[in-house]
Amino acid sequence: MEGEDETSMVEAALGLSPQIFINEVLNMVDDVRFQAFEYCLQEGAPAAVGAATATNKAEELERGVNAICNLVTDVLNKRMNNWEMYCLRKCLTVPEGFVAPEDDNSSSMVLHKDGNSDSELDAELNFLRKKLADVSTLLTKN
């Protein structure tokens, strides 16, 4: 239980939510599956068997597509459940001993450790802008 509490605290500190990510992916997969079979019913079947035949056999086509949809849904649900378990156990776990940073300014601390400050970066950026302007004026003259 302690490991789960630690993981939850780290996720909260970093603003992460693996379960929300997984739910979003599962919802996208469901949407794509639904849209694919809707397309089959509305556009694909008439094009495949001809519009006249499709209207005559609309019920038969709908039953067949729905049967295939149910089969695909069952297999997809099993596979996505396996994917979810794998993600939660292997990919989206916080390593043991991981400590979340105390503040959100860790990237600014790295810049200062490298010897770069905002004023130095601004000066370098201004220098590069001036060089670019000089090259542009040279090219327009020629």
For the stretch 84-131, pLDDT in tens is 999 989 888 877 777 766 665 555 555 555 555 678 888 888 898 888
Is there a single domain that holds both residue 92 and residue 25?
Answer: yes
pLDDT higher than threshold 70 for residue 75: yes
Considering only residues 51 and 23, tell me which one the structure prediction assigns the higher pLDDT.
23
pTM over 0.75, yes/no: no
Cα–Cα distance for residue pair 62/33, rounded to 1 Å = 16
Is there a single domain that holds both residue 92 and residue 128?
Answer: no
In whole angstroms, how far apart are CA 1 and each of 4, 6, 7, 8? 5, 9, 10, 11
Please compute the mean of the pLDDT values over residues 58-69 and round it to a whole number. Answer: 86
* Structural domain that includes position 136: 102-142
Burial of 78 (0-12, 13-18, 19+ CB in 10 A): exposed
Is there a single domain that holds both residue 84 and residue 32?
Answer: yes
